[in-house]
Amino acid sequence: MTPASDVRTVLYLVRHGEAESNRDQRFGGWSPAPLTELGQRQAVAAAAELRRRAPTVLVTSDVARARQTAQPIADLLGLEPRLEPGLRERSLGVFDGLSFTEAEARYPDAWRRLTARDPGAVPEGGETPDTVYGRVSAAIDRILTDHPGERIAVVTHGLALFHVFSYVCGLGPPSHDHPVFVLVDNASITQLERRGAHWRIVSINDTGHLRDMTSG
């Protein structure tokens, strides 16, 4: 039997394709904003790239735009998507689904604090960074525990992925003085490997499979 410290588990982290909220400059959060036509094509391209990498497991956020991105992967690779609510995007409560201009007009004080990167700025009904970090890191731990030694495609969201990076790099929950911010592109693939207690970052924000794709 291979010692646990020698088991290599691979994560292919996929940000969902372009959603209507991305295109229309709206807060996505937990809103049901679907993929755009471009986002659907991006999802198909990501699935084709993942077929080359041959994941054995597919886990996705249960928010609509992530599930829609995961479906071409499931269809092409014959995998059953496992829904993981812990991988959801950060909810900003009353901001979810609003355009940036609508949020500013309706909730000017909350908007001002949020855009000033005040770590305590949480719109009504929204999640704190600590809450998001806790559930996202717990979701990653569950995935690693449930699928040791496998290659796992994980479909999630931009800010959720930032929390994954913070966790992997040992930076803890994002704060006002966080030393780094990472925001990967829609339908990009990031490859991480875990062996024992050690992480290896193989690639970040790989968009080679999207190179010839346009918005038309």
Q: Alpha-carbon torsion 69, 75, 79, 85, what sign?
A: positive
Distance CA 35, CA 32 (A): 10
Q: In what order do the strands lie in the sheet with 198-206?
A: 82-83, 57-60, 151-156, 8-15, 189-195, 198-206
Active site residue 89: yes
Strands 57-60 and 189-195: unpaired
Angle between helices 37-53 and 64-77 (to 10 degrees): 40
Q: Alpha-carbon torsion 141, 147, 151, 155, what sign?
A: negative
* SS3 readout for 113-146: HHHCCCCCCCCCCCCCHHHHHHHHHHHHHHHHHH
Active site residue 16: yes
**Choice among 89, 127, 163, 209 that is catalytic:** 89
Residue 94 main-chain phi, psi, to 5 deg:
-65, -15
Residues designated catalytic: 16, 89
